[in-house]
Every structure is written in structure tokens, then in C-alpha cells.
Chain A
Amino acid sequence: MIIDVNVSLSRWPNRRLPLDETPKLAAALKQNGVSQAWAGTFDGLLHNDLAAANKWLVDQCRSVDEKLLLPIGAINLSLPAWEEDVRRCYELHGMKGVRLLPGYHDYTLEDPRFRQLLSLLAEKHMLLQIAVRQEDPRTQHRLLMTKDVDLKPLLTLLSDFPNLPVILLNAVSSSAVELHGQLAAAGKVYFDIATLEGLAGLERQVQSLPSERLLFGSHSPFFAFDSAKLKLQESELPAPRREQITHLNAVKILSDL
């Protein structure tokens, strides 16, 4: 059983992807043993009418496979009245969480609006996903260049929100190991394995981050799903740890909301 916390629907801005149609993606996820996928939308990257993008996301999830696809709304803190998008995600769509894409939305985590969002989510018992990157900066389109999100400001905010689950997507890499450890210690901070690399990378990763804080994420359909799946084969982990990563941690995040 796998819960994939890092999936996106709709189209990547400058490429057609083999699985960028929801029914096809859903079929591939199921075939790979995914029982639930936390799905954001690529429309969140560049669209300004996020209310429409989030409505589309919910409709897609419902019409294709409501059990499989759990919609995670996109929020852009640079937009006027972004709080209304949060309200709709929660009240209208019954979403469990929202996803930020700060690299594409021109603000840092030092922004006071980010703290406001944390308060709102904590109040509503929702989870937060922050996509630290979507694409390697070296392969980005020249006119769509963006840097990885600086996570340092998050460190000082976490103590005020001890129960808010913060899931950092595409964050894991060989750099920032120390900061990630500090973040995991300071709050309910989780990391997905989509960008985890290295020989038997998971075996190394569980030495610096507790397995309670690792989640299976594929970054499909931008990444090939098999990349994340084969990482479970490349590393030898005791079964309980492995199950934490594949689904138990994700189940617990949802049940604790």
C-alpha cells in the first residue's frame, strides 16, 4: 500500500507529459499500488484565478476517482484576497490541505502573509504542503527561472504552530541536511522522497531524518513514478520503517487533523 503525497494534475507549463491527463495518471497510480494520491494542480504555478483552478482540481478528482485522488488546493499569497481561496478550499471543497508554490509566486517565507496562512490553517486543522522546487533550476525555461524556496524563516515560526503538519515537497537533497534536521526537530515537519538521490539513498536519509518524518512522494507526472517506487527496492529498511514511509505516516497526518 502506498500513499503518494506529491502528485499534480493538469498541464506542465512548457511540456506535455505522458501522464498529464487525469484518467491516465489515475490508472498508472493504481497500477503501481497507490491507494491515495494527494493531488495539487500545475495550474497553481502560473494561473491567477486560483478559485477556478481549485474548483477544476476538485471536479477532476471527483469525476475520475474520488477515493484515489485527494485534492490539495493551490494558494498564492501574492494574490489579492488569498484568504478567500483558503476559505473556499476548506468550506466549499472540504479539502484537507493546501499547497504553496512560493518559487513561482514571488514571496519568501519571511513574508507576514505566510505567518497569517499558518494561523489560518492551524485554526481550520488543515495540512500545509510547500513545494520547495518543481524543477531543477538548470533545466528551467529561460523565461521561467526560479530558485528553490529558502526554508530558514520557517524554523522560527514552527514553535507557534506545534500541531500544524508542514510537508516539504521536493526538498530533500544532499545540501541543507542540517537545516532539514532542525526543521524536523522544531515542528511537525515532513519530507517527501521525490528528489531523494544517492546510492541506497533512503538508508542514508533515515540517518539524518527520522523515518516518522519521511513520506512517499513521486512528483508525478512531472517525474517518472518508478523513480520513487524503485527507491524502496534500492534501500534495505526494516519493514516497520518502510511502512511508515509508504503510508503509515500519511495516514497519521490525516487522522490527527
Chain B
Amino acid sequence: MIWDLHCHLNGIPGRTPDEKMARLIEVADRMQIERLVLFMGAPFLIAPTPEQFREQNDQVLQAISHWHHRAFGFVYLNPEYEQESLQELDRCVKDGPMTGIKLWVAKRCDIASVDAIVRRAIELKAIIYQHTWLKTTGNLEGESTPADLHALASRHPEASIICGHTGGNWELGIRTIRDLPHVSVDLGGGDPTAGLVEMAVRELGASRVLYGSDVAGRSFASQLGKVTAAEITPEEKQMILGQNLRRLMSPILQAKGVRL
């Protein structure tokens, strides 16, 4: 069972979200990927206005509308706009089908409005996916580091938080968030560097490690290959490839009455 935590419509050929989604599913089928989590629309917007993130979320809602048996959506928010983000969270998660939140690089996650979003997410049982990178070449102004995420997550032990890209520089990312059992790591969106999965499993335990691809910027292949080639047990691979994400999502799916 493979569930992909991290997919985008951006970069997929197609004139509409429906066309892009059909292509995404076609390729996912070749890789035996059963379920996909989608967030953000096309094009990528680093600092979307409320109007823009609503439009981007509409694209995802449209894309998953015919694929509820295959795909989930996370709502894209910009913490620069706290009230509008909280309203959008309600629209897409409380009153809509989405199951998590995506925070990208508009603002670093150490600001107060992110705490407000996380508190609401906890009430809704929504998963919080925060992009993190620690770039040797220098981060974007609003780009969170694993340390920023650690500070946020430390204040919210009851939240379910995912450290995006395992911090990019994963040896540092893993060490940074190791002591927070409610923080999982997303393996996706970086080169298929050997040793990443082994270290993550060794330091965090397989239950905190999640397969995600970051298609269409990445391929399914390069990201699945990290897991399939890793020197870990078959049981650990199963957890990483799908079981962990299913477990993390089960509280909100149950609350929504979604049966798997």
C-alpha cells in the first residue's frame, strides 16, 4: 500500500485541474500508488493573497472532486493573513473535504499567526505540513528552518506536524526535530541521496518517517527509490510508504465519517 504525502498540480500537462489530475493518476497507477495528497495549485505562488490562496485551493478541490477514493487535499494558507487563513481553513477542512494544512515559504513558522492556525488545526484534527529547508546556499526570507519548526512544534505537543523535506539538509533536520515525537518527516522533494531513510529510521523510528514525492517537480521514481532501496526491514518500508500516513490521517477521516 503506497500513499504519497506530497503532490502538486503545478507542472503537470493539462488545461484544467481535472485534466492534470487524470494524468497524475495515470502515472501514479504505474507506480502502484493508491492515494495521493495534493496541495497548492498552478502556478506556485510564494506569498499568495487570500484571494489567490482561495483560488489555488479551489483548483485542488476541483481536482480531487472526482477522485475521493484516490486523493486527499491539504489547504494552502498564508499566515501573513491570519483571519483569512482561519476562514479558509474552516471552508476547506471543517466544511470541506480537506484533511490537512500546507504552509510554505510566505512567512517563517515562528510567528504568532501560525500558532493560531495550529490551534485551529488541532481542534479540527487536521495535519500540519510545514515546508522546511536549511539551505547551504541561503534560505528565502520567509522560508522556515527545522529549528523554526522545532520552536513551533514545542508549543503544540498535541498537534500532528510534518517537517517538510526533512529539512532539506536532512542530517541536520533529523537531529533538530528528533526529541519531538509528534513531529514526522517528509522524505520528498530532495535528491534521492542514499542513507537518508536509514538515518531517519535509526534516529526517529520508522513510525515518524513518511514517503512523499513532491511531483511534478520531482518524479515518483526518485522519491520512491529512496525507500525501496533503503537498508531497512520490509515492515519498516510498508510503514513509511503508506501505513504511517494512514495512521496520522485516521483521526480526521473518522471525524469526517470517511471510511477507507
Q: Is A197 a contact of B218 with CB atoms below 8 Å?
A: yes
What are 19 A-B interface contacts by the 8 Å CB criterion?
Answer: A15-B171, A15-B195, A136-B191, A137-B136, A138-B137, A139-B168, A139-B170, A195-B191, A198-B215, A199-B23, A199-B215, A200-B219, A222-B194, A224-B193, A225-B225, A230-B31, A230-B219, A230-B228, A234-B31
Query: How far is the CB of A169 from the nearest CB of chain B, in Å?
Result: 14
Are the C-beta atoms of A223 and B193 separated by less than 8 Å?
Answer: yes
A142: contacting residue among B24, B136, B218, B224, CB under 8 A: B136
Residue A255 CB within 8 A of the other chain:
no
Number of residues from B at the complex interface, CB < 8 A: 38
Q: Which residues of the partner chain B approach A220 to less than 8 Å between Cβ atoms?
A: 194
Contact with A along B12-43 (1 / 0, CB 8 A): 10000000000110010011000000000000
B172 (CB) vs chain A CBs: closest residue:
A139
* B69 contacts A by Cβ under 8 Å: no
Interface residue tally of chain A, by bracket? 35 or more
Cα–Cα distance between A226 and B211 once the two chains are bound (Å): 15
Q: How far is the CA of A195 from the CA of B195 in the complex (A)?
A: 17
Told that A199-B219, A230-B225, A233-B30 touch, could you supply 12 new A-B pairs with CB distance under 8 A?
A139-B191, A145-B136, A197-B219, A198-B215, A198-B217, A199-B216, A223-B192, A224-B193, A224-B230, A226-B224, A226-B228, A230-B228
Q: In the complex, what's the smallest C-beta–C-beta distance from B241 to chain A, in angstroms?
A: 13
Q: Is the CB of B192 within 8 A of A199?
A: no
In the complex, the chain A residue whose C-beta lies closest to that of B20 is A199
Out of B198, B222, B226, B228, name the residue touching A231 (CB < 8 Å).
B222
Alpha-carbon distance A197/B220, docked complex (angstroms):
9
Per the bound structure, the CA–CA distance linking A17 and B197 in Å amounts to 12
